[in-house]
Structure 1
Amino acid sequence: MIRAYRADGKAEIIPASGQSEGIDPAIIWLDLVNPDRAEEATAERLLGIPLPTREDLKDIEPSSRLYVEDNVIFMTASLVHQVETDLPELADVAFILSGNRMITIRYAEPRAFQLFSGALARIPGRYKTGAEMMARLLETIADRTAEVLEIAVARLDALSAEVFVDRKAAKRRRPGFLEDKLLDIAAHHRLLTKARDSLMSLSRLITFLRSQPAVRKDREADELCRIVAHDIQSLSEHAGFVSNNITFLLDASLGLINVEQNAIIKIFSIASVVFLPPTLVASIYGMNFQFMPELTWTYGYGLALVTMLLSAIIPFLFFRWKGWL
């Protein structure tokens, strides 16, 4: 699909069998969403420039993601999407600045694009140049990434409240509760990792964009890019802070699991120590020696039972007094 946006905020769909030559000068943004080969050919014919393919967008080399060719600026960034799902992903999006027009090529639906296109309709005629529009789009993407980090922080706070509860609530937990929370921590870590990777690619893109003469000449666009670069840096630092919180939560959860396991082992250890003296007494009187005076005692059996009982109770009371139980 080829969506064309005019400076006045109006949008239209350009069919793959559309105009044979040229494009309306009023169109300031051309957005290619999941384009097929026919739509790519139509866009190339209208713009007069070669467009990167889906395979080109996956290239991680800087020279393939950020370059200038015939005064046309080609940039690729990775944007996080599917944030609301359990499997957030990165989508490679191409940003092209050709003259006074911005072109984007994407094979996903990051929410930032929906927010930005909606703002175009509400404020028609706001953007005069393609560079300014691109800077505003990057600003919207940075804002959306900030929202993603806020979502991650909110989820971590909720998870932390579930993990760190009082002792009474902890005793009522079902077996394997903390082990399940480890999977939740891994999911939050995946979301944060995707957001940090996105911020890194945006930082490279905005630095490259600010170095271009076409952007430096546009004061409004240059100032917007400077603000976006500062926002991205701040978000990267905040993402690092959130990453430390995830690490702490992971370590704390593993520590609580170890504490629970040690408590179980302690119970078995104390039980074995408590029953060791009675076992010793029973073993002594279970010997088959011929001469054992106790065998002729009238109350020997009862005394043996009382001795075994006392040998079990005394260690138990001692452990209680020490606070080991």
Structure 2
Amino acid sequence: MMHLPQVKSATIAPEKYDIHQNYKHIAPYVKEADLSIANLETTFGGKPYRGYPQFSSPDTLAHALKDAGFDVLTTANNHCVDRGKHGLLRTLDILDKVGLKHAGTYRDSIERAQEHPLQLKINGLNLAVLSYTYGTNGIPVPTPTVVNLIDTLMTQEVKRIKDTETQDFIIVCIHWGNEYERKESRYQKALAKQLFEAGADLIIGSHPHVVQSAYHYTDTTTQREALVVYSLGNYISNQTKDPATRGGLSVTCTLQKMPNGDKSITDVKYLHSWVSKTDNQSKRTYRIIPISYSDRDTGLIHPTEHELFRRYVEYSKTITLSDSIYPF
């Protein structure tokens, strides 16, 4: 997310912004992956730039995300039509111009038919990336644009892709859940179960603005696996509702397909991060700080934030990746 204070912080001259510094410390981790996916919860709707409740961010953000190592941005979320038809279309134009692939919103139904799901070939694996949202904050989706919404057709689409297309792994990025709730809801768990049964291999959630649980599920009957992350929290934002909103989660894994067709999800790891906000000479700076649980972390945090950071670190230790057995 990019709230207005973040835009002001990034301003280095009239109409000139430096957003790259936000990702300085986290970029090496992002670039290690063969494929890095993130949720873009703002628009590139042009000026005037705005934060909550109807976001529009400088185009420089797209360049910063590309340079930080991200490959794909999911765009189906409750803020994707904040700036109407123009904002949705311009966001896709900017992402295309920068070279960032995207999934979840489309210029029209023809484009959706051609580009949904987003199909990628990474190191010999065929991957399908799908992005859905629970809604758009009550703003009607402008014609002829399309936003992927969570509905009864979603699981049918996943099943169709599994049954009819040559995808080795299906990745579903889903905007769901209740804001600021640290525990996933029954609805999220039920929907994750439906997606797994339909054929999803990775189910990655966003929207609650706090990190929620992550599970590596295995169906002992079929040996099918799935990685479910109920919420990645806030990678970067200006939210300060409680320390939990100052943190995010990066999850990595290794996907493999054997010659006999068997698939595996291994080496599942996660990295917590903290949004550092430092006031210096009447200007605030934002940094995403990876948490290594060492003294190095505190050295990157301004002394005025040490207590908040300590509280988040303690909270982060309660969020663990659990191995679990299907059914959920």
Q: Give the structure-2-normalised TM-score.
A: 0.31
Q: Give the structure-1-normalised TM-score.
A: 0.31
| Higher Rg of the two aligned structures | 1
In terms of fraction of residues, the more strand-rich structure is: 2
